[in-house]
Structure formats: structure tokens, C-alpha cells
Structure 1
Amino acid sequence: MNTTPTLATMDEQVTASIHLVIPRTEMQEEMDPAIVELYSTLGTQGIEPKGPLFSFHHRMPTETFDFEIGVPIDGALQETGRVKVSKLPACRVVRTVYHGPYEGLGDAWQEFMTAVDEASYEFGSTFWERYVVGPAETQDPSQFQTELNRVLC
């Protein structure tokens, strides 16, 4: 179930992230180890995330996903392995929040895009998810909250 879409203005955010270009079929097996690597690197350097985990997609998916998995940070990150300093852009977005398990994200995106298509927005090619409430906060997947963001032109 999605909330009613709203407009929001995002400030640029410095992030620590891992860039992945992976086949659609390998999302789960690639994403989980990347998340572990990201948090391990931050922990080793004593850096606390300044917001929830996100996945920032550089383009609409085809047979592959091209995205960064990351978190906002304040401190100076020593780039290590695949963990790099990046940024979420300053931009205007249309946003909704999906409530439910990650397996429902595909349907949530479809519902979101149907709702915003009716409003005739013009979108850029990027979009992202922020995992506001997830497994670290609750073991009940029906309580997960994922923010869905589409960048406006």
C-alpha cells in the first residue's frame, strides 16, 4: 500500500556508496553482500550513517540494474574497496511511501507510476528508494516502509 504521492525538494547529500551494475536476476545475491560491505567499512572507520539506507538508480532498469547502494554521511570517508564517496543530487522529486515487504516493491512502483502518470509530470532518468523502516527496525515485513522517489526534470 502506497501513500498519496507528494512533491518534495531534496538538498544534495554526501553519501558512502557501492556502485553496482548487475543482472536483474542477481539483485538479492549481490545487494545483501554490498550492504554488509558498506556498513563494515563505515564501522571500521567510525562513521555513523546520517540517514537510512538507499538505492539510487542511474537509469530505468533493463535486463540490468545500474545503481548505488549507500547511506548519507557527514564525516570524511577513506574510500576502501568498492565503498566510495558519492552524492544524492539536489532536486525536486515526486515521492510516495510503500508499506510492506520488499517482495511487493515491484507492484508498489507500478502503482506509484500509474498515479503520477495521471498527473503528467516530466521525469528525469534517475530514481531512488530509501529504506526508512526495514529488518534492522522490525522483524515484521508488513511494517517495512520504503520511500519511492522519482526525480523531476
Structure 2
Amino acid sequence: VAAVRVVRGKGAGQETAFIPATRPVGTRATVVDNRAKGTTLSLTAPFGAAEVKVTASAGSEGGTPATKSFTIKAGTTQQVEAPVPSGLKGTYALTVESVSGGEVHGARTVTDAQDGVSAFTVQTLPDDRGTVAVPKADQDLSVLQQ
């Protein structure tokens, strides 16, 4: 079991986040409640270079989706500027999809100053298992005659 404790700021203006170990992004991982400013993605490719596609959904109150692709070098962590929907109104979702290469681990950080304290939250990006197997089906109109 592994986890990381992140501390930012000093004295009374200090903020802490705890990040648990998590599985890789896999096929796709999604995180919601992102903001136009202060949203950062950290992507790691521990064993082999990887390419990912990051899609920002339309905003909760309007906007047009946006997509960016990133190549993460093997053994590195990159902080990337998350795409933001054009004409964004409200918050939006980010979806990270593995395109090729090795496994990718990710986390999303949102920062916002509140009462002089640089508040932040960190959320890991495990595979959301948002795909399902659809069974093969054939058209059978005879069921309408029963």
C-alpha cells in the first residue's frame, strides 16, 4: 500500500492533501468539476512512453468540447495544462484516454484561493470502466407475432 501526503503553504495558510495509490488510467478515466483556471493534470508513464488524448466536455452551462493529445516520455511525470471548452460556462469533465504505448497513471489538481489560503484538491484518475460488452443480437420479427 502506498500513498502520498502533499503539503502547500506555510503556517496558518497551510493546506494538505492525501493521495492514495491507484490503478492506471487504462482505457479511459474521467474526472468532473473542473474549472476554467486552476485545473492541472499530472500524467506519469512509469515503464514506457505513452500517448494520451484528453477531452474536455462541454460546460455544465454551455461551451464547446475541446481535445488535446500529449506524449508522456518513459519514466517521467508531466504536468499538462488541461484543455478548456471554448465558450465555457460552469464546470466541465475531463476524460483521459490511452491511445498507445505503456500504462499511464494520472491525477487532477484544482487550486483556488480561499480566505488567503491556496486551497487545493488532488484526485487520482483510475480507469472508469465506462465501457461495456454488448452481446451480439439478431433481428427477429417473429417475436411481434406472439
- TM-score, with length taken from structure 2: 0.29
Q: TM-score, normalised by structure 1?
A: 0.28
Looking at secondary structure, tell me which structure has more helix per residue: 1
Report the structure, 1 or 2, having the larger strand content: 2
Greater CA radius of gyration, 1 or 2?
2
